Structure 1
Amino acid sequence: MNGRLAVLAAALLLSSCAPDAPVARPQSDTPTIVSLNPCLDAILVEIAGPEQVLALSHYSRDPGGSSIPAGVAQSYGSTGGTAEEVIALQPDLVLASTFLPQPTRSALERAGLTVATFGSPVTVAESVAQVREVAALAGRAGNGEALAARIAAPPPQTGAPIDALLWQEGEIVAGEQTLIVELLRQEGFTSHAAARGLGQADRVSLERVLSDPPRMLLIAGDAPGQRHPLLEGQYKRMLIADFNPSLIYCGGPTIPKARERLRAIRAEAERRP
């Protein structure tokens, strides 16, 4: 009996030292996903369950490059965008920008991962289509339709258009074929930059703003000229409002937030003489 007890004790000791067996992922009809793009991150956290999203891009943890609240981004995993990190997570699907480096894409596909790439929408319609495509891939078509409806909601009726200059980071302006300029038009603003023949990423100096002021100046940057004391004395010549740069570059759930801010700015302008 003592011998049997000794053998049993030894077996229990060995089993306690053995490594844990890999934990199998629960079976699900929806794929697990890693996103490598901050704009796609923002769509994912709106339409997919947290258990689906293995990691977001590291950009979403950078307050200067994120379209997601900091607390939300921190609740998800993150990668630096390397193929090795993504492969280690073994997602069913990788979402990325069309600018994903080809060597990275090739490495992911050689590892057997499915990669879907997306461009940057330049119209509301393109953003709606992108949301629906991402949602279909994620197995969340219903959630995608709900988000698409919020994005495509018709803007309210407005009065006379207000001449506006969106002064972006680096003292540049947006071109006509951009999503933010379409939103400006839909929300009752006209492009001061376009009326003066300016195009995408053209620079507008403080001197030019002061010599040819728009009715509304939307400041979305922190360059010295954009925060110059000379602007403080210009409120009688033009209305000045801050505009968060995070509302400029992404579609998806960023669109309703941008609309809300533009409507608030326009309402303020209409209260001013």
Structure 2
Amino acid sequence: MRLIVDSELNRFPSKMAELKQKTLEHVGSFSGDDIGNIYSALLAYQDLYGNNYLMNVACLGYKKLDDYLHDLDEKYKDPTKINAFLEIFNDKYNDTVIMDELGLKYSRERLENEIIGQAQILDHFLKTAPRLSGVSLLKGAGGLDEPLSTQVHGSLLAQSLLYGQGLRFNGFLSTTSSYEVADNFCFSEIGDPLYAIDLTNNSDESEVLRRDTLHALNDVDFETENILFSFNAHNVAGVSVKSIKNAAESEESANALDDEDEILLAPGHSFTPEKVVRMENGFIVIGTLTYEEG
């Protein structure tokens, strides 16, 4: 636990300064018009109206929200169910669109009319970003599988990781250089460590702990509501959002871009788990994050 906190990127000023400088150099490699479009896309991603959710839908290749919902659940072949989804979605993300016929049409077509273009701009910007290696990036997530959010199914994810199965992040991957910020993105306080399972060896101790934990996941009282990732970065593609915010120096940026020490990564990163730490209220998962151009 202490090792994870001590390895956060914020504790290495020279590496953090290098990332910020590379971010600004990358921004400066684009034309003025392109920089404006990139910044607008970044603002849109961090906006309040569920844009990050829709941008990740766009990253999956969907052109229409209807198609995504049809693949998500058969029930959305009923248009009234799609309307119900939109009403819940807008309510969750504080969108003030009046949900009359025009409002429903606008919300239903926002992916194709607004979001896809912004997602493509941000995707290209991040995929062409300087590569980052040899640092620790962190990500906290709720494990309650809440619909219309980036939460995960905690017990299923833990089971997959304990079997040594890797993850692929097909959407934009929001990470942070701060353990405190990552912990805040969990559903609740993750608590103290109980034990660690090393997935890179087959010692009797690790195997017993792994099997006992897999068995315990079947218990409804077993806490999996918090998942915190510690990524050992290898050739990752991303930028420091904070450095872009500071460089913009505008009232708009101060309101729209928060101060979460965010390192935003391109879609397409792969994660290989190496250690699972059982916490009082969830798991910390340690492993290597890589990006392969394709």
TM-score, normalization by structure 1 = 0.24
TM-score, normalization by structure 2 = 0.23
The structure in which a higher percent of residues are strand is 2
Q: Indicate the structure (1 or 2) with the bigger Cα radius of gyration.
A: 1
Higher relative contact order (CA 8 A, sep 6+): 2
